[in-house]
Amino acid sequence: MNAPLPSTIVPPMLVMDHVTVDFDGFKAINDLSLTLESGSMTVVIGPNGAGKSTMCDSIIGRVRPTSGRVLFHGQEIQREPEHRIVSRGICRKFQTPGVLTGLSTIDNLVIAATADRRWWKSFTNAGQDEARARAETVIEQIGLRDRAEALAGNLSHGEKQWLEIGMVVATDAELLLLDEPTAGMGAVESTQTAGLIKTLIGRHAVLVIDHDIDFVAQLNGHVVVLHQGQLLREGTLEDIRNDEEIAAIYLGRAK
């Protein structure tokens, strides 16, 4: 009888392994461990100061963990510079839209979709057709086709948020970090944003930070609760809602 072939173990897409971020004695993140799988939806909630944004900062390389490891497809990235982590396939949207206001909506997406940003490439047409095609696909996805030629600075606040989500999507990164994508939006726009984000799952893994429980419910993702820099609970939103400790600390309160 032939011996069975050894199984190949595929590591999770992202692992935070006992990560601590210490700012002069203040532990913004304290021994945090978290696993994200490819194509998944994870929503991180928690009160103000819980460490949500610092968690994203430690993933993207904006801050370096004091201890612990961050692994992307099994490779440690916690000591790499931010631009190298982005090139690996992780991209982040911040709370405040950072669109290029003097350019059109479609041109913002083309720039984001340009995969090779080495300076000498900017003097050639290499990759521009592919970037334009990617931008045309994304602008349909984010619902801004009729605003394609409008200056980004003339878009409404909600449209700017959607454009920046589109810019993150246009990079075709495997992991998208969306920090409060509904900030400043009303209920209708928030619902539209939830619908948009759900279309991204599968091709991308998405980690969303938000404090609006109604919006979180619409996303229907795996929920992680942070408190004082630590992972307090994780599970379905129903699990989280039924947890008396979490209700006392967080649910029903503004961020």
The pLDDT score that the predictor gives to residue 120 is 44
Cα-Cα-Cα-Cα dihedral sign, residues 49, 24, 177, 18: negative
* Whether pLDDT at 251 is above 80: no
Residue 91 — very low, low, confident or very high, per pLDDT cuts 50/70/90? Answer: very high
* Whether pLDDT at 254 is above 50: no
| pLDDT one-digit tens code per residue, 161-199 | 999 999 999 999 999 999 999 988 999 999 999 999 999
Residue 240, CA distances (Å) to 146, 177, 178, 252 in order: 40, 22, 21, 12
Domain count, the chain: 1
Establish if 254 belongs to a structural domain: no
Nearest CA to 177 out of 44, 63, 23 is that of 44
pLDDT, mean of residues 215-243:
93
CATH number at residue 25: 3.40.50.300
Establish if 8 belongs to a structural domain: no
Residue range of the domain that includes 174: 14-249
Q: Percentage of the chain surpassing pLDDT 90?
A: 76
Establish if 2 belongs to a structural domain: no
Establish if 6 belongs to a structural domain: no
